Structure formats: C-alpha cells, structure tokens
Amino acid sequence: MPTPPATAPQPPAPPIPLTELLAREDLGLRRIAGPADADLLWVHTSEMADPYPYLLGGELLLSAGVLLTDPDHYVARLVEAGAAALGFGVRPVYEAVPEALVEACDRYGLPLLEVPPETPFTTIARAVWRLMAEARHRELRRVTRAQQALATAAARPDPVPAVLHQLATQLSGRAVLLTARGEEVHAAGRRPHPEAAAALTRLARVVARERPGSPASATDTHGDTHLAAYALGGGEGLVLSVATHRREPGDHTVAGIAVVLLSLLAAPHQGADAADRSAALVRLLLGATPAEVAPLLGPDGPWTVIHARRSDGTTPDALTAGALGASLGSALVDAGREDDDETVRVLLPATASEAPPHPGWTLGVSAPTPLPALAAADTRAARALAHAEATRTPLKADTPVTGLAALIPPDQAAAHARTLLAPLTPPLTDTLRCWLSLHGSWDRTAVALSVHRNTVRQRIGRCAELLDVDLNDMDVRTELWFALRRE
C-alpha cells in the first residue's frame, strides 16, 4: 500500500552503506555474519542487556558483550528496534565473538562485525561521522547542481516539459505530470514497465487534491522500481509522479524543487480574480458591452494585445502558453484557435513597453487601446507579429499615431483614408500595408503573409492599377502609409 513519507526522526546526514565502512582498512573490521548490505544512520555504544528502549533504528550498535547472556533474545530485540548492524569488540570480555551470537545474527539477518582489540569504538564512530560528512557534502553539491539546472529549465520557452526532462535526467528515471484523473499532460525519461507505470498513475490519485485530507506526497515500490507522487500547489489537481530504479540521498529534495517550480508554472496567474473574469464572460454572452465589463477584468486604463508564436515553429500547449501569460503578468491567455493553433494571444492591462522579448518566442504587440477597441488592437498585434517574423526580430510593437499625423483630427483622417483606399479589397489592403511597412521588400512581405513572392508582386501591381498611382514615388507611399495607419 502507498504510504506518506515517514515522520520518524531524520538522521543528520545521508545513510552510509555498510560496505563503505568495511572498506576502511585502518579500522580492521570484518563481517562474520548477516547480510552485506545495510545502511547506517547512527552509531551507538551500549553495554545494556537490552538496549531496545534507547534505539531509534538504523544504528550501528557497538558492544563488548559485558551483559550478554542470551544472544538469541539480544539479537531479536535489536532487529525489532531496527538496528542496522552490530559491532562486537573482542577483549577484554570475550577472546572471540561468541558462536551463539554469530548464529543468531545469521538467523535474524543482522550484519555482525568483528571489532579487533586495537580499534577503539570511538575511532569507529569518528569514521562513520566523517563518512556521513562526506556524503552530506556530495548530496549538497548534487542538490545545488540540480537546483541550478531546474531553474535554467524553468526559464526556457517550454518551461514545463523542460523542467520534467531535467528532473528525469537528475533522478535517472521517469518524471510525469498527471491530472487528478490520471491523464498524462507531459512526461520525460524512459517509460517504466507497464505495471509500474499503472502503479504510478494509481499513486498520483492518492495525492490528487480532489478530496479533503489527501496527503501532499506519497511513496511506494513496485518490484525494483521506486515510485513517488507530489501534489502541485495552485488548486489545479496536477500531480508530479516520479519512477526510479534506485532511491538516492537528495532525490526527495530535488523533486521538491521541481514541485515548487511546476506549481508556479502551472498555477493560474492571480492578477485578476477568477470569479470576476467568469462574471465578465457571462455578462458579455448575455449582451453587456465591453465597456460595462471592463472593471471586472482588471484595473482601469488601456489594454495591450499580444500575439506570440514559438520561434522554432512548434505548436505550444496550454501549459506553455499559460506560462508565457504568467511571465507577462496576465492570466487572460488564448492558447490557440482552430484557424491558427500556433498563435498564442495574451490580453493584459499594460503598455507595450511592459512586454519585453521572451527567448524562444516571437511577439507582436499592439499599442495601448481602450477596451471597446480591442478588436482593432487584435488586428494590429497580428500585423506586428507578421512584421516581427518577416524581419526576424523577437518583438515588434505597434505604435500609436504621433508627430505631424497626429495633428489631423482622427475623424477627418479616417474619412480621407476610407475614400483613398476604397478601390482595394481587404487582401490587397493588407498586402499593401505589409509591403510598405517592410520598405517594399518582396521576400519579407511573402514571409509575413505566408504567400509566394510572386503573389506579393501581383497584388502590389494590382494596387497600383486600382489606385492609379506610382508606388515608386515616395510622396505616394507616404500618403498611402498615412491612410493605412488611420484606416
């Protein structure tokens, strides 16, 4: 049965394999009974006839057998207390380890070490503590390296799968992010045996926070596979599950670091209350205007629309898109539409200057816009993204009309633009705008519009015909650009 991690007193350092202590030739220790494998957590010396009440478990108990009268009962009590091994010092009480003690240790499976007369018990204790200090140092170095690697992974454009991959690498196992129903969201590392994978899914349900009293973590074993599951914070019902073929000191700490990072990456941003966002959506569906629901979506002021695509052309999943939104400071994220599932759209109450470039992403940012005009801002963000991709820049921000153009009243400018551009259809208008913004580059315009360069030439030629202008004339280009900015 899976059980939560033990709450017994924790040792001051990672356990020391008995084989490491036996390898110290200066101690002269010799195993004469019991198994060779044992983990030492403490060292304790006692000459009591029954030291059971004073043992914590995991001890190397050192004794000269001063009060040893019943070896079978003595060893049985040590095993019951959880002692890891028994070190028996010969002389001055016994010239050799009693044969009855050897037989009892073999019978109960307790490692028995012969301690030579020239080796004081304090020397053994000092050696164990030194080995523990070295193991603690190795563990701290490993955890530090793992923490740095996981933090670097969390800063990548695809942080959730990157963190899982790094965790699987650090633990030399399998790391899986599961929903409360056991559905796999992301996974990394070699897949375990199907039966172990099924056990890992069942363990995830134990800690999934769908019912009161669920533990935050749980561990189990399936054959030679060690399993662990950790509930992520944020109330999303996600669980990190790990399967490894061995359990090393520091594994739990490394997994804990990953849990914190994944909880931050997978949790919804709390900048706007979820209930208010839901209320805003309901009111819009029931006929309210954008201006009426604006107060529910966040602070007053202009809004910015951001369009983003992965620089490597891959399609982002919902968690990766949510992580981008969280890094921008918004939970209002659209991970993709049916007509364009590679573009992520983010809405945030901020200015364009608050959207810095993000490694691995190409961003198009609209100018700050009042809520009722967000549809136009959405279009401008899409154009900015196309411009950024065509020019291979990480971010392109649409800027508001300023300078001399701002001196003309907006309504008069818009009326002039409609009249001037009336002969053009929307595809021709979009092509002309993109072509002018890219300084007449056929190739970049083709990239931005995802069409062939010959199609761009044909459309621009058609624009010149319909408008009856010479597009090589700078004055003509300037007037058209002014009109297209006010359209």
Domain ranges of the chain: 16-131, 156-266, 274-399, 404-486
Evaluate whether 95 touches 66 at the Cβ level (below 8 Å).
Answer: no
List the single range of 168-172, 219-223, 313-317, 346-350 with lowest mean pLDDT: 346-350
Distance between CA atoms of residues 202 and 200, nearest Å:
5
**Average confidence score pLDDT of the chain:** 81
Task: Answer yes or no: is pLDDT of 64 > 90.
Answer: yes
Which pLDDT score, from 0 to 100, does residue 1 have? 42
Distance between CA atoms of residues 466 and 429, nearest Å:
11
Query: What does residue 220 show for φ and ψ, rounded to 5 degrees?
Result: -160, 170
Same topology, domains 156-266 and 404-486? Answer is: no
Domain 16-131 listed as CATH 3.40.190.10: no
Which pLDDT score, from 0 to 100, does residue 137 have? 84
Distance between CA atoms of residues 275 and 134, nearest Å:
53
Distance between CA atoms of residues 423 and 28, nearest Å:
99
pLDDT, tens digit, for every residue of 232-278?
865 557 888 899 887 777 788 888 888 888 877 776 544 334 556 65
Which pLDDT score, from 0 to 100, does residue 28 have? 92
List the single range of 155-164, 185-194, 354-363 with lowest mean pLDDT: 354-363
Task: Answer yes or no: is pLDDT of 80 > 80.
Answer: yes
Would you state the torsion angle of the CA atoms of residues 185, 188, 193, 199, taken in this order, to the nearest 10 degrees? -40
pLDDT, tens digit, for every residue of 277-289?
656 666 666 666 6
Which string of b and e fits 47-57 if b means at least 16 CB within 10 Å? eeeebbeebee
Task: Give the pLDDT band of residue 367 (cuts 50, 70, 90).
Answer: confident
Distance between CA atoms of residues 218 and 237, nearest Å:
15
Domain 156-266 listed as CATH 3.30.930.10: no
Task: Give the pLDDT band of residue 353 (cuts 50, 70, 90).
Answer: very low
Verdict on whether the full-model pTM lies above 0.75: no
CATH number of 404-486: 1.10.10.2840
Share of the chain above pLDDT 90, in %: 22
Evaluate whether 385 touches 377 at the Cβ level (below 8 Å).
Answer: no
Which pLDDT score, from 0 to 100, does residue 441 have? 87
Task: Give the pLDDT band of residue 86 (cuts 50, 70, 90).
Answer: very high
Task: Answer yes or no: is pLDDT of 145 > 80.
Answer: yes
Question: In sequence order, what DSSP letters do the residues of 149-218 get, joined into one string?
Answer: HHHHHHTSSSHHHHHHHHHHHHHTSEEEEE-TT--EEEEES----HHHHHHHHHHHHHH-TTSTT--SEE
List the single range of 146-150, 201-205, 242-246, 408-412 with lowest mean pLDDT: 408-412
